[in-house]
Chains A and B, each alone.
Chain A
Amino acid sequence: MSIEVKTLSKIYGKQVAVNNINFQVKTGEIVGFLGPNGAGKSTTMKMITGFIPPSSGGGTVCGLDFVEQSIEVRKIVGYLPENNPLYPEMYIKEYLQFMAGLSQTNDSKVAVKNAIEITRLGPEQHKKIGQLSKGYRQRVGLAQALLHNPKVLILDEPTSGLDPIQVAEMRNVITDLGKEKTVMLSTHIMQEVEAMCERVIMINKGNIVADDNLKELISKHQTSLEEIFKQLTQNVDTI
């Protein structure tokens, strides 16, 4: 089991962002973490990657507790945060070199070269990050997450704000990566999930409303993923 989350909760003041959720991600799976804006997707990912601690509960990544052994977990997890923060004044290679150092890769030069190759950054690799188009910036963000050859990738809205061609390229890269790594990606776009993921975890208002294999989920409900999403997220509204 790559990721295992048990009774995980996050409460901000009186607002419950994530409410006692449980799920598991098997090794080698590509899992879509689906939910409307503000459902708790990012909060969950931030807790797994150690940016914020849970209010209660916890879990493991590859057997390591992500609260108690956060530093160890960070060594095996590649994380692309929402909005893909970068330093605009740095050169791509300079930035990746810096990140490779922080990620404690053994041979940072090779790591940078590999990451550039995987994310197909080659033609732009000598530019400053500030000069790049959004699609390329997103690739830099993904390259940063790949440097230390992590076993698990956690990608928070990796395709948001990209044009259709860039989205298609990003999907290809992620699908390729999913052959070797466990990938958990969040999105609120249904087509993304249908194109890339084997399994779907749907979350709404901090609660998990569906957790199933994509095909089974669709055959169970006898309708499109989008309809299922609407039903499930609105159902909770009326409760």
Chain B
Amino acid sequence: MWTLYKKEIRSFLGSLIAYIVIGVYLVLTGLFLWFVDGNNVFDLGIASLQVMFDIAPYILIFLVSAITMKSIADEKRLGTLEILTTKPISDIFIILAKFMASITLIAFALLLTTIYAYTIQNLSNPIGNVDWGAMLGSYLGLLLLSACYTSIGLFSSSITDNQIVALLSSMVISFFFYSVLSMLGDVSWLDSIGRSLSWFGLEFHYNSISRGVVDTRDVIYFGGFTAVFLGFTQLVFESRKW
């Protein structure tokens, strides 16, 4: 599994997609945080990264989908999946290795944004007057959210041998679970049903963890969500056997 993980990381480093995607992520979050009129740090006058944490889940949908689109679809297209699956390694470890490699890359992108956190800390008055709890919670939230997106991305990549199809389906499924479900909570005629449905959405739990309160229920939700989609991916892997 370690071997496959290393190969995946290498193939990220060797492909332009990883650099472009990380670059786009940094530029977009940077723009929203510092420059976009009306909502940036200077306009709000609050030393917090809240703007970035509000926008990041949407940018991550694109980022994660772009990173994961290739991982299984391309192995199918090339036929190398037959080589991988006839080596002494179980299907689930192939999936896990690819999952870990993608998560590593995303965690790296998130890590780069801590430079914004450092800047904010120096801008605050008095210096250091920042809600670190909320910030750490938000970072943890983003990481857990990325794990969910990655599992969706791998699943989408496993159902096709076309990277574009994988990208689009991953974005649609991720958007559905992040945004659409939580919007249902605001539909008045759905009333309590809508609110229950929004509980199943990713945004509800992300917002909860972003406040800086790490509730085990949220962590379990994110972990379970990831496990379910990785399980779906394994089912697709095994469907060749039906």
Contacts and interface: CB of A to CB of B under 8 A. Distances in A.
Interface string B45-84: 0000000000000000000000000000000001110111
Nearest to B81: A85
A85 B80 contact: yes
A46 B240 CA distance: 11
Given A85-B78, A87-B78, A75 B240 contact: no
Given A52-B241, A89-B11, A89-B14, A102 B82 contact: no
A4 B15 CA distance: 44
A144 B240 contact: no
Given A52-B241, A71-B90, A75-B88, A85 B82 contact: yes
B85 interface: yes
B3 A52 contact: no
A85 B88 contact: no
A79 B86 CA distance: 8
A130 B122 CA distance: 50
Interface in A55-111: 71-72, 74-75, 77, 79, 81, 83, 85-89, 94, 98-99, 101-104
Interface residues of B, number: 23
A89 B15 CA distance: 10
Give the secondary structure class of B's interface: helix
Given A51-B240, A71-B88, A85 B3 contact: no
A102 B79 contact: no
Nearest to A141: B83
Contact of B83 (A71, A77, A85): A85
A102 B78 contact: no
B89 A102 contact: yes
A202 B83 CA distance: 26
B3 A102 contact: yes
Q: For B7, B15, B240, which residue has the most chain A Cβ atoms within 10 angstroms? A: B7
B217 interface: no
Contacts of A206: none
Nearest to B85: A51
A227 to B, nearest CB: 34
Interface string A12-25: 00000000000000
A52 B240 contact: yes
A81 B241 CA distance: 17
A154 B83 CA distance: 12
A144 B83 contact: yes
B4 interface: yes
Interface string B1-17: 01110110011001100
A81 B88 contact: no
- Ranked nearest first, the 8 interchain pairs of A and B with the lowest CB-CB distance are A101-B3, A85-B79, A102-B87, A74-B88, A49-B86, A85-B80, A75-B88, A81-B82
